[in-house]
Amino acid sequence: MFPQIPLAQQILLACKAKGIRHIVLSPGSRNAPLTIGFASDSFFNAYSIVDERCAAFFALGLAQQLREPVVVVCTSGSALLNYYPAVSEAYYSNIPLVVISADRPASKIDIGDGQTIHQRHALALHTAYNANLSEEEQDLNYNTYLLNEALNTAALKCLPVHINAPFEEPLYQTLPAPTVSFHNEVGLKKPVLLNTEKLLQFAKDWNYPKKMVLIGVLPTDAIAQKWFDWLEKDPSILVLTESTANVVADTFIGMIDTFLAPIEKRQLQELLRPDVLISIGGMVVSKKIKEFLRKYPPQAHYYIDEHVGYDTFFALTHHFKTDINTFLETVSPELPPVSSDYKEVWLPLYKETLEKRTAFLADVPFSDMVAYKAILERTPTPYHIQISNSAAIRYAQLFPAKAGWQVFCNRGTSGIDGCTSTAIGASVVQATPTLLITGDLSFFYNSNALWCNYIPKNLKIIVVNNAGGGIFRILPTDKGTPFFETFQETTHSLTAKHLCAMYGFTYLCAQNQEELTKTLETFFSQYESPMLLEVFTPRELNNTILKDYFNVLS
């Protein structure tokens, strides 16, 4: 079944020609031609999600895991603007989200027609391409060009794009076959030519004895075993990783903030300062490493990533726009072994810090810290883990990751707004069980995410509920002001129990360490239905314990 409108047919044929199968639809009239076409064609996997913000983050979760374009379709008007948080996240996380918005014809804009706004270029600052299509039949060839450009851009650049499609009524008429065709122009990835002069400079800088490799967001197995071993063995390289780097090794420093805690007090900053910094992957969570490298910048900073090359530390020398495996394959023959004690000096200090950490955690009262310790120690492998922003990802960084985990977090814009929807979308196409670890504000903010018919039975959610925005007690805010609890911490007495009853989740809760330990056994052993575990922690104790943690390590 095809919509009668030729432009709608073109869009459907374009998506099919590009092999885009996953389509997330939100209800509406103006987008009915697309809904009819996508939902009635077995080539596509069509999902129906009412809330457009949730729909866009759900689609982002799909694209995050599939590493291919996913389409999200909405009706005209403000529906499109609800996509913006997910679009900006996709833009800064290099996720190929394809937004298709139905629109009124140009003649209906600004005449008082309902559900009508300026949609052309509405997402332009955070999209890699904007295709403003025409409803006129004489423009079909130009539409073909725009659709090819938009969809090829999404696939090749791994960035979001926006396709705006005006449809005139009638909207619901159908045909058994299309009346137009689509000429598919295959997008070709241009070979990356690495700057020879910069490669020579990199090889020269390699002779420095102190090299720090900082690994941000990476998909699992992004670094080939050959180069993984190479990084481990080089005595002049100190490797710092985050939970979202999905890289685990005994000689890598996996808890950056914990490692850095004693550096300042012992006045070891100059000794630690790298001569050369090599960044791999996407965003970095740790504020401590950002502060350190901005205050003690390296002599040279090279960023190696296919997409991004951030000058986070205001010392960027060059961005090699390729993946780490290709880069090292190219440059390694020119890199001589370097005599150094850089790794040898810092790994014992890290080990000593971890011993202090173990002693401290053994005697901590029940709190966020204890809850995250229990959760992360008892999460089995293999597991696909999504972590919400704010306090949740920061606490996760204080505990070691496990080989066999796949860890993700919406760090592009670091918002709390769509973490649950992203996790649900990701879980739909994940072979391994999915665990979302989230704070209470992030969870309740995005509670419409549970209004979804596609939640797999092996999805598990842990909500650490400290009755407010606990992050604001950690941050250097003035907690003595009369408006702190109401306007910043935003205290509440909400519970997820009733949401679970409404949406068909098995609900568990824990209010102390003994209950949590016991409940986690049940939580990770049952898969008859999606499950949610709500862990209630003391609101006013958590920040004190976190400060004590860093003081003890110092």
When comparing pLDDT for 15 and 539, which is higher?
Answer: 15
The pLDDT of 272-299, averaged and rounded, is 97
pLDDT tens per residue across span 217-261:
999 989 999 999 999 999 999 999 999 999 999 999 999 999 999
- Prediction pTM value: 0.95
pLDDT at 480: 67
pLDDT tens per residue across span 105-117:
877 787 778 788 8
Tell me, letter by letter, the H, E, C secondary structure of 338-374.
CCCCHHHHHHHHHHHHHHHHHHHHCCCCCCHHHHHHH
The pLDDT of 525-533, averaged and rounded, is 95
Please report where in the chains the tokens 């502060």 appear, as a residue.
291
For each of the domains in the chain, give its residue range(s) and CATH number, in order of start. Answer: 2-172 (3.40.50.970), 196-349 (3.40.50.1220), 364-553 (3.40.50.970)
pLDDT at 177: 93
Residue 469 pLDDT > 80, yes or no? no
Q: What is the DSSP letter of 51?
A: S
* Residue 50 token pair: 């009412």
pLDDT tens per residue across span 32-78:
999 999 999 999 999 999 999 999 999 999 999 999 999 999 999 99
Q: What is the overall mean pLDDT for the chain?
A: 94
pLDDT at 497: 97
In this structure, are strands 316-320 and 300-304 parallel, antiparallel, or unpaired?
Answer: parallel
Residue 470 pLDDT > 80, yes or no? no
H helical segments located in 300-450 = 324-331, 342-361, 368-378, 391-396, 419-428, 440-445
If pLDDT is split at 50, 70 and 90, which confidence band does 489 have? low
Assess contact for 406 and 423: CB atoms under 8 A.
no
pLDDT at 66: 97
Q: Cα dihedral angle (341, 342, 343, 349), rounded to 10 degrees?
A: 100
pLDDT at 478: 65
pLDDT tens per residue across span 180-224:
999 999 988 888 889 999 999 999 999 999 999 999 999 998 999
If pLDDT is split at 50, 70 and 90, which confidence band does 137 have? confident
Which of 163-177, 330-344, 364-378, 483-497 has the weakest average pLDDT? 483-497
pLDDT tens per residue across span 298-327:
999 999 999 999 999 999 999 999 999 999
